[in-house]
Amino acid sequence: MTASSSASQRARVRMKPKSNARAIRHGFPWVFANELVTDRRTRKLVPGALAVLEDEVQTPMGLVTVNPDSKIIARMLDRNPDAELNLAWFEARLTRALQMREQLFDAPFYRLVHAESDGLPGVVIDRFGSACVLQPNAAWAEAHLELLTQALINVTGVEVVLKNAAGRTRSLEGLDDVNMVLHGTAPEAPVVVQMNGASYMADLTGGQKTGLFYDQRPNHAFAARLASPGARVLDVFSHVGGFGLAMLAAGAGSALCVDGSAPALALAEQGAAASGLGDQLTTRQGDAFDTLAALATEGEMFDVVICDPPSFAPSKPTLEAGLRAYERIAKLAAPLVKPGGYLGLCSCSHAADLSKFRGASARGIGRAGRSAQLIRTGFAGPDHPQLPQLAESGYLKSVFFRLD
């Protein structure tokens, strides 16, 4: 089945009686495997195939992509069941996404496409000036990668498009983990990204995910406001120095960046040097839990401590263990904050909602014998829009406390 096949030629998949068809009509973009009639024809569909979704009485609901091997068996692509996934379709989606980013950002460094929220399920595209890093995390996007890439070039005028295949969800979709250059020539050196007064180094080919975490930009900015002149800052799970560099640029006296990745810490050091702050940033490679405990033993204390770990609860089965990990991070970090200082804790776990994460963080602070005021709750920036019907699109949470 080709992208240009008409609706009359497409497969038709039907929701079961008493399934959640109302939620689909109201904007929820996913159909789970237990909600769809999986007859022989449906099971034979190639992952990423297009189909017309029908409700239980066979009323068309829209154009979906189907993956019989995934728990999310169907993803809504277009409310028009006759829609054609051609170059013009992709260009329209990308143009809509680009218009908002260009209105919000002065320079072309942002998340251009945030998956379902931008009408391209499972697709993430981060822009770094004249280069884009594309993550096709769903089978349909992989099947239409040539069209998507050409549309991206046409709409943005970028000279380089890289495919990053490191996303965890690709394996759930039955996809490979092979990175490649889709257009142009991959940059040999890290790309310099200016944010919040600091210079960040984004490794587009060898770095984590797409090379830089744009989602934390507004939280970096808030943390920078907490850094009084001369403040001592601790940035744990620092990656390329996200929080530490922003606070140094705002006037902090020193920042210690802790991460398990030596290459990430080297990029943090390069970013500090490019920002004219090289002598104020130090790094420490190692396990975050062990390093927090060691710093306490060494008697270290800081004016601002930030902990921004990777996802501890990426799925519901890992939720309880993940919440215990967040609580432990808070318990280890709180003793390192000077009285009157600030503790920022972050979570990018889909399964841990804000209430659960905030509760785990508060328990950890209490177990450390500290009392606290919650002064701010933060989320991802506007280049990571949320689809109101899909809680998973608002994965990032941050909570900032002032400790007594």
Query: Tell me: the pLDDT tens digits for 75-120?
Result: 999 999 999 999 999 999 999 999 999 999 999 999 999 999 999 9
User: Which two structure tokens, joined as six digits, stand for 70?
Assistant: 């995934």
Average pLDDT along the chain = 95
User: Which two structure tokens, joined as six digits, stand for 298?
Assistant: 């060494």
What's the distance, Cα to Cα, between the start and end of the chain in Å?
63
Residue with token string 């306490």? 296
Give catalytic status of residue 132 as yes or no. Answer: no
Q: Residue 3: is its pLDDT beyond 60?
A: no
C-alpha–C-alpha distance, residues 356 and 325, integer Å: 12
User: Which two structure tokens, joined as six digits, stand for 309?
Assistant: 């770990």
Task: Give the confidence band of 1 by pLDDT, cuts at 50, 70, 90.
Answer: very low
C-alpha–C-alpha distance, residues 144 and 227, integer Å: 46
C-alpha–C-alpha distance, residues 53 and 55, integer Å: 7
Backbone angles phi, psi at 216, to 5 degrees: -85, 0
User: Which two structure tokens, joined as six digits, stand for 313?
Assistant: 């609860």
How many helices (H) and strands (E) would you count in the chain? 12, 19
3-state secondary structure string across 59-98: CEEEEEEECCCCCEEEEEEECCCCCCCCHHHHHHHHHHHH
The pLDDT score that the predictor gives to residue 168 is 78
C-alpha–C-alpha distance, residues 126 and 136, integer Å: 12
Which residues on adjacent β-strands are paired with residue 62?
Answer: 53
Using N-to-C axis directions, what is the helix angle for 242-249 and 262-274, rounded to 10°? 20
What sign results for the dihedral spanned by CA atoms 180, 314, 139, 131? negative
For 132-186, the pLDDT digits (tens) are: 999 999 999 999 999 999 999 999 999 999 999 987 788 888 899 999 999 999 9
CB neighbour class for 8 (10 Å; exposed up to 12, middle 13-18, buried from 19)? exposed
The CA–CA distances, whole Å, from 296 to 85, 126, 304 equal 57, 38, 15
For 298-350, the pLDDT digits (tens) are: 999 999 999 999 999 988 899 999 999 999 999 999 999 999 999 999 999 98
What b/e string do you get for 50-89 counting C-beta neighbours within 10 Å, with b at 16 or more?
bbbbbbeeeeebbbbbbbbebebbbbbbbeebeebbeeeb
Q: Residue 2: is its pLDDT beyond 70?
A: no
Structural domains in the chain, CATH included, are 11-78 (2.30.130.10), 87-183 (3.30.750.80), 197-403 (3.40.50.150)
User: Which two structure tokens, joined as six digits, stand for 22?
Assistant: 């109302």
C-alpha–C-alpha distance, residues 89 and 278, integer Å: 47
Task: Give the confidence band of 46 by pLDDT, cuts at 50, 70, 90.
Answer: very high
Q: How many CB atoms lie within 10 A of CB 353?
A: 17
For 257-278, the pLDDT digits (tens) are: 999 999 999 999 999 999 999 9
The CA–CA distances, whole Å, from 61 to 177, 234, 387 equal 33, 51, 19
Task: Give the confidence band of 8 by pLDDT, cuts at 50, 70, 90.
Answer: low
User: Which two structure tokens, joined as six digits, stand for 339?
Assistant: 């009285």
Q: Annotate 224-246 with DSSP letters as a single string.
A: HHH--TT-EEEEET-TTTHHHHH
The pLDDT score that the predictor gives to residue 342 is 98
Task: Check: CB of residue 101 under 8 Å from CB of residue 112.
Answer: yes
Task: Please choose, from the candidates 4, 202, 179, the residue with its C-alpha nearest in 3D space to the C-alpha of residue 89.
Answer: 4
By percentage, how much of the chain surpasses pLDDT 90? 91
The pLDDT score that the predictor gives to residue 182 is 98
Q: Residue 4: is its pLDDT beyond 60?
A: no
Which residues on adjacent β-strands are paired with residue 85?
Answer: none
- Counting every residue, how long is the chain? 404
pTM over 0.85: yes
The pLDDT score that the predictor gives to residue 301 is 98
